[in-house]
Amino acid sequence: MTQSEDKENQPIEASTTDDAAPLQKKRGRPKGSKNKPKDGSKTKTPDTATTVPETVEKPKAPHPRAIYSDANDKKLMEVFLEHKQEGNGTDNGGWKSKAITATVAALAGSELESGDAPKSATSIRDHWDHLKRDFNNISTLLEKSGWGWDDENQCVQADDEQWEALAQARSHFISFLCLLQVEFSPVF
């Protein structure tokens, strides 16, 4: 038997050289896999015997928010009314992407006046949901006996006793009621 055949038939011994590393059984997920270990711990890499240290994430700075002025709300409503007539509204009260894109274009540059973030499709959809919620709250109040609309001040009007009774009966209206009594957008 030759010397090379002897090496093939002998059991593998632990070696301190780098040629033994490829013979070790790999542990964990395949390289490039996006699957995470079930226990949430880091896997060992074949070339090291220690676990990979977890990185400490730095807290992210808050993103600037898009702020909508009364003029922005009015422009938003004008664009949406145009697109509603063109059939770009959805059955559930939302808007098709064509209407949202047109609104983003119409409100482009409005952030320069107020110093806020640009109006994006996401912020417009969120703001539209906020306006719908306010409209539904106002409609609910106007359906109640003794509640009315003040055209001059563009707000809901009622006696103080009615405001207090509503605040006690519906606690989720409290933050909205404070907004109504202090200031309100004249979009509706």
CA dist., res. 6 & res. 69, Å (int):
85
Question: What is the DSSP pairing of strand 148-150 with strand 155-157?
Answer: antiparallel
Domain extents for the chain?
70-182
Three-point CA angle 56, 62, 68, nearest 5°: 165
Pick out the chain residues at pLDDT < 50: 15, 20, 182-185, 188
User: What pLDDT is attached to residue 52?
Assistant: 56
User: What pLDDT is attached to residue 182?
Assistant: 45
First to last CA, the chain: 97
User: What pLDDT is attached to residue 149?
Assistant: 87
User: What pLDDT is attached to residue 185?
Assistant: 46
User: What pLDDT is attached to residue 89?
Assistant: 87
CA dist., res. 150 & res. 6, Å (int):
101
User: What pLDDT is attached to residue 183?
Assistant: 47
Structure tokens at 153: 């001040």
Secondary structure class of 148 (helix, strand, coil): strand
User: What pLDDT is attached to residue 129?
Assistant: 92
Q: Give yes or no for a contact between 161 and 143, defined as CB atoms under 8 angstroms apart.
A: no
Q: Which of 127, 165, 125 is nearest to 145 (CA)?
A: 165
